[in-house]
Structure 1
């Protein structure tokens, strides 16, 4: 059974305009609480701060702005299911702009994604990401490296190899979700100038050469996404550059065949 609780401490976003991002609570908070009942922060904590920083800058420029990130916290962890009050109070304690808290079981968390019109689902669980993709929800994995990502700038990375791949091995159901996300993300990025933007979009091709990188760049531009940084590794080890770029997440799913 899915239960959704609006956060009474934050202003709810305009549903028709918001870019809804769902993040699992186990990636945002540790299960252990201190003496005051406040949960410790997890790997996704800088991500939520970066999303919030984008919203703050948008509202600074235009207080009537409605194109904002709308954060939903998804809880499927059995232990955290029993920690509803600490989850809500911890989000408030840490100053996180979480609009809604969704509680569900492992077997029906997909319902919470669809009910909340989630446009991007972020998790540390590969199985959850695959299940969400199968239902047409754009998903991405986060790992421990996210904890070192900057909190003052949201860094979104696209896998250029997936963009130029011509086969349709990924289910067609996820492609409309990807195109919708790209359109919203591109519109968000255009709200800011070239310098000092709280949102940076990065393109990396890990295996292809210069032509592949150029093709991926043109494809993203045709979808309204203007890239800030481009890297062509051509088979070089990815570890060093990833540690320097420190993206909050890497998008691969749904990118295949965008040029069609």
Structure 2
């Protein structure tokens, strides 16, 4: 059984135009740790990423108060945690997070809850949940301790060469279609900001090949409406050093992936 509760503390987004992001309560909060002794849960590894999403929304609304292309965040919990629902709600309020809806389901029904809420990006710390969601065509990000040190002021998305979806007459798997659609939505958001001081930053990294490979990847991204801020051609070099400097929130690949080398 899946149930969803709207958060009356925040303005609801236009679900027909918003980019819907779901985050698990285990990723967002440390449920065994209280913050400041007031009963609110301490922030988890997903906290900087959600702050970065919120920062994008704030700047979009500053430019156009009627903007509808915004991130819409849903907090997801399982049946065993429903008794803690009031604490999840008060914890989001305590941390100033604009979570618009709280979705409760059993562990067996969490995929149904993703599909029912039209989730376009799923954030979790559970590798098995990532695999299940990706198989159902829901782009997913596996968060870990590295996520906790990412920027909260700018949303940083990394594209790798195997993430570029080139035109093809062959049927596209659901995960690749979903990744392409999500990329296009992000591209539309990025276009609303100038070249400098954008709260949304795209970086392209090509792992192999030279200049031609990088140019081909750039053209492929532009074909789906994505223009990158930075591009790096590694030509076979390991990607770990550049990733340690860039600290992207997530990598866009055939589905979504964590950033382990």
TM over 0.5: yes
| Structure 2: segments with no counterpart, 5+ residues | 257-261
1:246 alignment partner in structure 2: 247
Cα distance change of structure 1 residues 112 and 194 upon mapping to structure 2, 3 Å threshold = same
CA positional deviation for 1:179 = 2.5
Partner of 2:195: 194
SS of the aligned residue for 1:193 comes to coil
Identify the residue that residue 134 of structure 1 maps to in structure 2: 135
Residues matched between the structures, number? 253
Residues 58 and 191 in structure 1, CA contact (< 8 A), matched pair in contact too = yes
> CA 1:37 to 1:213, structure 2 compared with 1: closer, same or farther past 3 Å?
same
Please report how far the alpha carbon of residue 210 of structure 1 lies from its aligned counterpart in structure 2 after TM superposition.
3.1
CA contact (8 A) 1:139 1:253 kept: no
Cross-structure match for 1:32? 32
Question: C-alpha separation between the residues in 2 aligned to 1:166 and 1:212?
Answer: 16
SS of 2:72's equivalent in the other structure is: strand
Deviates more, 1:47-56 or 1:154-163: 154-163
Query: What displacement does 1:238 show?
Result: 2.0
CA contact (8 A) 1:28 1:42 kept: yes
Change in Cα spacing, 1:126 to 1:234, as seen in structure 2 (3 Å) is: farther
Q: Name structure 1 gaps, 5 residues minimum.
A: 256-260
CA contact (8 A) 1:76 1:109 kept: yes
Question: How many Å separate the matches in 1 of 2:178 and 2:48?
Answer: 25
Identify the residue that residue 6 of structure 1 maps to in structure 2: 6
* 8 A contact 1:134–1:171 mirrored in 2: no
In the superposition, the TM-score normalised over structure 1's length comes to 0.90
Of 50-59 and 69-78, deviating more is: 69-78
Aligned CA RMSD, in angstroms, stands at 2.2
Matched residues in 2 for 1:204 and 1:23: separation? 26
CA distance in 2 between counterparts of 1:61 and 1:86 reads 34
Q: Which runs of 4+ in 1 moved over 4 A?
A: 164-168
Q: Distance in 2 between matches of 1:64 and 1:221?
A: 27
